[in-house]
Structure 1
């Protein structure tokens, strides 16, 4: 409650901490609240507008006000959220997961496993033995975690790996592994990406140093709004 409406929470706490019978607060078990942009009086319980808040029942009042603000007043929004949430994770399966497992399913894996990434990468015009590909993975293995995240976001649009690892990546048309595709080499050409299909488009650079330098420039530009091709 305090994180949503600190002032209201403070007022409720003041009521709970003081004897209110002789203060003339004139409170009843009804409050004014915003209902889709219109202020309306809402009863906290049946007949609430005719029930005075007293020292004896003030704890119940505070509980009902909190319940209204935290749930009843936003029930349509909660219902919409749960409807979408249960399309992703059926209600019948929720109890199978603890909080950490649910976080992984919703937000993805925070650490990036390079071996998993490499093992679930496809190539278009290259293969695993291509010098540029070997240089690429050597560079990525030497990257800091921050740069790995930048590379992942640059190429897929996501800063996290989905639950289940790189095998579970999807694109605009469904399941789509990370792919490195060859493009014509021109001097000063940077790698580009098609995030909708998780594809890194990379020229056949002449050296590992050139690849590293061009890749870092692309990641820095991409992090500042670089237009992906």
Structure 2
């Protein structure tokens, strides 16, 4: 269970968030600059709230009364909007970058099959398409077997065919892994298709949207 209740002062407004999420998919919708990515960054530990608390499965990620939990100890998978692949590493090396040595990688082999990237492992990022980069980045974000998955605009750079495929693959992974997933999107259609819960953020203020 993810429990979030924090405040963060941004340049033009105060981000105020409060919600709970079990093993479900949550969509964050809203206009650019409304605080959606900041919320993900606070969960991941890239930035810290001013006050409040973030906890996952009883472990405090952030509590303003104590030192924040380090990023490396949070077991958070994060798919960045620009995918953030290392250009000098192969696809396989990118995927294994954050995986400790001597780790059983059978789950990664299965992920590469599910996401259809087995044939890409020896290639470099500049040699593959945008849709393929997205699937490589998703595999990397899951490689360390996280307890929660965060995705920042995961479908924004994809055409309709690749968007549908990646959405199907994401839902399949969620059914298998049963972990909380939070994704940011501008497209309400994506939110309604994938999410069990939809939250809208505008200028730091959060409201719940009905799920159709």
Pairwise same-fold verdict (TM > 0.5): no
How would you bin the TM-score normalised by the shorter chain?
A: under 0.3
Q: Going by fraction, where is strand more abundant, 1 or 2?
A: 2
The structure in which a higher percent of residues are helix is 1
Of structures 1 and 2, the larger Rg is shown by 1
Instruction: Between the two structures, name the one with larger relative contact order (CA 8 Å, sep ≥ 6).
Output: 2
TM-score (norm 1): 0.24
